[in-house]
C-alpha cells in the first residue's frame, strides 16, 4: 500500500475525530455502523457523514453495506492516525522514501525536528504472503476473535519491548525511540542486509560474532526464531546489527530447541555457500546432539547455560509462564484433555446405562402386565365355559363363548396398545431426563397410524360388531 503523506496536511481536526471514532468502534465491531460513528464523533449539524465521504475518497476508510451500512478503518487510515500522534509528540516531523518492504511490514525513512534521520516500521499483518500469522504467532493468546489492525498493533508493541530490553543488555540492535499503534520508530542502521553483501574482509570473524549473538540470546532466555541473512545488517566497518524481533520466543518454549538449531543451521549454510568457509553442516535434526560438528563449534542447545539473564520473564516471551513451564504444558496438554475425555466418556456411559436401565425396567413392567392380563383373560374364558355347560345350552352359547373370548382378546389388544403408548411416553421422558431435558420434536404426521396396529384393531372390532 502506497503511503501518500501529502493528504495528511489537508485533513482537518474533524477528519481525525471521525477516524478516531471508527477506530474506537472497531474494538467490538468488524464493520462500524454509521450511526455509532456519528454518536462517538459528536460533530455538530450532522457533519459526520460529510467527513466520511471525504475519508472514503482518500481511501482512509472502507464502506461495506453487505449486512448493514457501516465503515471500517484501512491500513492507510491507521497509518495516518499513528503518524499524526507521533508528530504531536514531537518524535517525527517529516516522512521520506520507502526503505524496504517485507512480508509483514513496510519501512520508511523519517526525520525528527532536529534533523535526525530515523526509521519508521509499519506492521502490516494480513498480507497474502503472510496470512497464517494467527496460527504461527501467539499474539492472540486466549482470544477468540481478532482484527488484522489489532494484530499489527500487538506485533509492534512486542517488537518495541524486545528491542528496548536487548539494547539495555548490550545487544547489537537498533535504538528503540517510540511506538504508537502499529508503528515503531527506531534509529536508522547505516548498513546493508547481509544477503546483499558479496565479499567480506574477515568472514570468519563475522561468522563468530553472529553465532555468538545467537548463543548470548539463548543465555538470556530468548531465541530469535528468524535469524538469517535477511535480518542481519552490516555496515562498511563490518559492524553487525540484528533486526526484526516480533517472533522471538523463550527458551522454555516447547519448540525452543528446534528454533535454536534452525537459526544456527541457517547461519552455517549461508556462510558456507556465500563465503566458502570450511566446516561441515549437519543436515539432521540435531535432537539431543551434545557434541560439536567440528573445530569451529556447532553450539548445542542443551549445553548452553541459561543463567545470564531472564529476559523472557521480564518481557513475557512466547512459551514463558510464571509457573514451571513443563508442568504447565503437561497440565494443559495432557491433564485437561484427559479429564475432558474421561468426563465425556463417563457422561456417555452414565447416559447409556441410565437409558438401558430405564428401558429394561419398562420392558419388564410391560411383560408382567401382559402376563397378568393374559392370565385374567384365560380365567374369564374358563368361567364362561363352565356357566354355559351348567345351563345346558346348545351350540349357540358356544358361539357366544367364542364371541366373549374374542371380545376379551380385543380388549387385551387394546390394553396392549394403550400400554405400549404409555411405555413409549415413559421411555421418551426417561431419555429426555437423561439428556438434560432436551426433547426431540417429531413431525405432525408422526402420530398418524397408516396400516398399523390401530387399523387392524378397528377392522377386528367391526367384524365382531357384525357378528
The yes-or-no verdict on residue 125 having pLDDT over 80 is yes
The answer for 372, left when phi > 0, alpha when psi is -120 to 50, beta otherwise, is alpha
pLDDT confidence of 224, banded at 50, 70, 90? Answer: very high
Q: Are 260 and 270 in contact (CB under 8 A)?
A: no
Give the CATH number of domain 1-88: 1.10.10.10
Average pLDDT rounded to a whole number, residues 142-153: 72
The yes-or-no verdict on residue 264 having pLDDT over 70 is yes
Q: Are 310 and 322 in contact (CB under 8 A)?
A: no
The yes-or-no verdict on residue 318 having pLDDT over 70 is no
**Residues annotated as part of the active site:** 226
Average pLDDT rounded to a whole number, residues 270-296: 59
Average pLDDT rounded to a whole number, residues 187-206: 92
| Predicted model pTM | 0.62
Lowest mean pLDDT among 72-86, 146-160, 388-402: 388-402
Average pLDDT rounded to a whole number, residues 364-379: 51
pLDDT tens, position by position, 292-314: 444 446 788 888 876 666 777 77
Average pLDDT rounded to a whole number, residues 36-65: 91
How confident is the model at residue 345, as a pLDDT?
57
In terms of average pLDDT, the best of 7-11, 283-287, 411-415 is: 7-11
pLDDT confidence of 391, banded at 50, 70, 90? Answer: very low
pLDDT tens, position by position, 2-31: 788 888 888 999 999 999 999 999 988 889
Strand extents, DSSP E, 167-231: 176-180, 183-187, 192-193, 222-223
Give me the DSSP letters along 360-421: HHHHHHHHHHHHHHHHHHHHHHHHHHHHHHHHT--HHHHHHHHHHHHHHHHHHHHHHHHHHH
In terms of average pLDDT, the best of 137-151, 155-169, 174-188 is: 174-188
Q: Are 219 and 301 in contact (CB under 8 A)?
A: no
Average pLDDT rounded to a whole number, residues 156-183: 92
Lowest mean pLDDT among 15-19, 31-35, 101-105, 345-349: 345-349
pLDDT confidence of 397, banded at 50, 70, 90? Answer: very low
Amino acid at each position: 500500500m502506497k503511503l501518500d503523506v501529502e493528504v495528511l496536511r489537508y485533513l482537518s481536526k474533524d477528519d481525525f475525530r471521525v477516524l478516531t471514532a471508527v477506530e474506537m468502534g472497531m474494538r467490538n465491531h468488524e464493520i462500524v455502523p454509521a450511526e455509532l460513528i456519528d454518536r462517538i464523533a459528536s460533530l455538530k449539524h450532522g457533519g459526520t457523514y460529510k467527513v466520511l465521504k471525504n475519508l472514503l475518497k482518500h481511501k482512509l476508510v472502507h464502506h461495506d453495506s453487505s449486512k448493514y451500512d457501516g465503515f471500517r478503518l484501512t491500513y492507510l487510515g491507521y497509518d495516518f492516525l499513528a503518524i499524526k500522534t507521533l508528530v504531536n509528540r514531537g518524535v517525527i516531523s517529516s516522512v521520506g522514501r520507502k526503505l524496504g518492504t517485507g512480508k509483514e511490514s513496510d519501512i520508511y525513512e523519517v526525520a525528527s525536528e532536529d534533523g535526525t534521520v530515523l526509521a519508521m516500521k509499519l506492521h502490516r499483518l494480513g498480507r497474502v504472503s503472510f496470512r497464517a500469522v494467527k496460527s504461527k504467532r501467539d499474539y492472540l493468546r486466549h482470544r477468540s476473535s481478532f482484527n488484522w489492525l489489532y494484530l499489527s498493533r500487538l506485533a509492534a508493541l512486542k517488537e518495541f519491548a524486545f528491542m528496548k530490553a536487548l539494547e539495555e543488555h548490550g545487544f547489537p540492535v537498533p535504538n528503540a525511540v517510540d511506538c504508537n499503534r502499529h508503528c515503531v520508530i527506531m534509529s536508522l542502521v547505516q548498513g546493508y542486509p547481509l544477503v546483499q553483501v558479496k565479499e567480506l574482509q574477515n568472514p570468519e570473524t563475522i561468522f563468530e560474532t553472529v553465532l555468538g549473538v545467537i548463543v548470548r540470546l539463548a543465555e538470556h532466555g530468548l531465541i530469535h526464531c528468524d535469524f538469517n541473512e535477511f535480518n542481519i545488517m552490516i555496515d562498511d566497518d563490518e559492524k553487525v546489527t540484528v533486526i526484526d524481533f516480533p517472533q522471538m520466543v523463550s527458551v522454555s518454549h516447547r519448540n525452543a530447541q528446534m528454533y535454536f538449531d534452525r537459526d544456527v543451521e541457517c547461519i552455517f549454510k549461508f556462510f558456507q555457500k556465500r563465503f566458502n568457509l570450511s566446516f561441515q553442516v549437519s543436515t539432521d535434526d540435531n535432537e539431543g546432539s551434545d557434541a560439536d560438528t567440528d573445530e569451529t563449534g556447532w553450539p548445542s542447545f542443551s549445553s548452553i547455560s541459561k543463567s545470564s539473564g531472564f529476559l523472557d520473564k521480564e518481557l513475557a516471551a512466547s512459551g514463558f509462564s510464571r509457573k514451571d513451564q513443563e508442568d504447565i504444558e503437561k497440565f494443559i496438554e495432557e491433564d485437561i484433555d484427559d479429564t475432558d475425555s474421561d468426563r465425556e466418556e463417563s457422561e456417555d456411559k452414565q447416559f447409556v446405562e441410565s437409558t438401558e436401565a430405564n428401558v429394561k425396567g419398562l420392558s419388564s413392567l410391560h411383560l408382567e402386565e401382559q402376563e397378568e392380563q393374559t392370565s385374567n383373560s384365560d380365567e374369564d374364558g374358563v368361567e364362561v365355559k363352565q356357566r354355559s355347560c351348567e345351563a345346558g345350552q346348545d351350540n349357540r352359547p358356544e358361539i357366544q363363548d367364542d364371541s366373549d373370548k374374542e371380545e376379551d382378546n380385543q380388549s387385551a389388544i387394546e390394553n396392549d396398545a394403550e400400554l405400549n403408548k404409555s411405555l413409549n411416553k415413559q421411555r421418551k421422558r426417561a431419555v429426555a431426563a437423561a439428556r438434560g431435558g432436551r426433547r426431540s420434536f417429531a413431525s405432525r404426521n408422526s402420530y398418524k397410524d397408516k396400516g398399523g396396529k390401530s387399523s387392524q384393531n378397528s377392522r377386528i372390532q367391526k367384524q365382531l360388531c357384525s357378528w
